[in-house]
Homo-oligomer: A and B are copies of this chain.
Amino acid sequence: MRLLITGGGGFVGARLARTLLARGTLAGQPIDHIALADQAAPPADLLADGRVSARVGPLLDQCAALADEAFDGIFHLASAVSGECETDFDLGMRSNLDSTRALLEALRARQQRHGALTRLVFSSSVAVFGPDASVPMPPVVADDTLPAPQTSYGMQKLVCEHLLADYTRKGFVDGHAARLMTVTVRPGRPNGAASSFFSGIIREPLAGVESLCPVSADVRHPVSSPSSAVAGLIAVYEASRAQLGGRLALNLPALNVSVGEMLDALEQVAGPEVRARVRFERDERIAGIVANWPTGATAARAAALGLKPDQRFTDIIRQYIDDCRQRPDAATTLKGLN
């Protein structure tokens, strides 16, 4: 089978590609080829695999051609992140909404020209949830909580969920939508996401660098490890419509954890000197965005697919440390760890 991963050069996309290549199969079919579409070239280890090709450039420019290409399945992860969508509204509308619609239109054209229904996993986000004056958000959001996005990023993800559901209902694509929790610990540099600090307060101290935490220690948030997020995307791809339990997006499993608990876990894994590298310095812009996010999430439909949340934040930190050790070419280093 031939697969396409949009955002395939990114952190989650590249990890998904590595996991799929290591498995060798998806939904019982051997994986012959994975194309990675992204603004930048994918990591060298992926390009070195004979089954991988790269498509570098804006997704919006790549979509039309997909109408005549034979991809059996697509993981659509490409997205501008929340912080940059707040700063640059047009960028978010183009990258998140227009690109997704162009992708859906290309797959609809493929279905109509060639009779081929493409399975499309869309990575939505817990950012679809928020409070509106008209409807208080429950502290812990469920699959069927009413979404009320408080960021343009969240709005764009929610709109794409509903576009996908209707293109699926019409038989244009076979859409499966999953809401990712905040994936942590991300390697590399801080990015424009308002949630970036959820990785920064672990990654930077482990690299011997001071990190600023822009919110208070009692802020709670639903997170998942990179491997859990990837496992969720694969399970959602492989699930039948009946197993998914509907066309609407489902929540992926979350570990609901406070910033203070994350730092306790950091101390437990790496010691008090490492934890001491985190300094609290409130950033009103970030804190304001985060205050409108849910403090936790449940994932009943994902649980029915056999997906489980990460059990302990210490495990998530150890996964990150293992990743750094296995891939010493990564930008992020570890300092002062035994």
Q: Which residues of A contact B (CB under 8 A)?
A: 89, 132-135, 143-146, 148-150, 152, 155, 158-159, 162-163, 165-166, 169-170, 242, 244-248, 250, 301
Closest to A131 in B: B246
Q: Give complex CA distance A166, B158 in Å.
A: 12
Instruction: Tell me which of B143, B145, B163 contacts A134 (CB under 8 A).
Output: B143
Q: Give complex CA distance A163, B163 in Å.
A: 13
The answer to whether B143 and A248 touch across the interface, beta carbons within 8 angstroms, is no
The answer to whether A165 and B170 touch across the interface, beta carbons within 8 angstroms, is no
**List of B residues within 8 angstroms of A242 by Cβ:** 133
The answer to whether B166 and A134 touch across the interface, beta carbons within 8 angstroms, is no
Closest to A86 in B: B170
Instruction: Sample 29 A-B pairs with CB under 8 A, ordered by A number.
Output: A132-B246, A132-B247, A132-B248, A133-B242, A133-B246, A134-B143, A134-B144, A134-B244, A134-B245, A134-B301, A135-B143, A135-B144, A135-B246, A135-B248, A144-B146, A145-B146, A146-B146, A148-B165, A148-B246, A148-B247, A149-B162, A150-B169, A152-B166, A152-B170, A155-B163, A155-B165, A158-B162, A159-B162, A159-B163
Q: Give complex CA distance A144, B89 in Å.
A: 27
Instruction: Tell me which of B133, B152, B162, B244 contacts A155 (CB under 8 A).
Output: B162
The count of identical subunits is 2
Q: Give complex CA distance A316, B163 in Å.
A: 36
**List of B residues within 8 angstroms of A133 by Cβ:** 242, 245-247
Q: A132-B246, A155-B166 are in contact. List 16 more A-B contacts (CB 8 A).
A: A89-B170, A133-B242, A133-B245, A133-B246, A134-B246, A134-B250, A144-B146, A145-B146, A146-B146, A148-B165, A148-B246, A148-B248, A149-B162, A149-B165, A152-B170, A155-B162
**List of B residues within 8 angstroms of A169 by Cβ:** 150
**List of B residues within 8 angstroms of A143 by Cβ:** 134-135
Q: Give complex CA distance A247, B159 in Å.
A: 16
Q: Give complex CA distance A152, B172 in Å.
A: 12
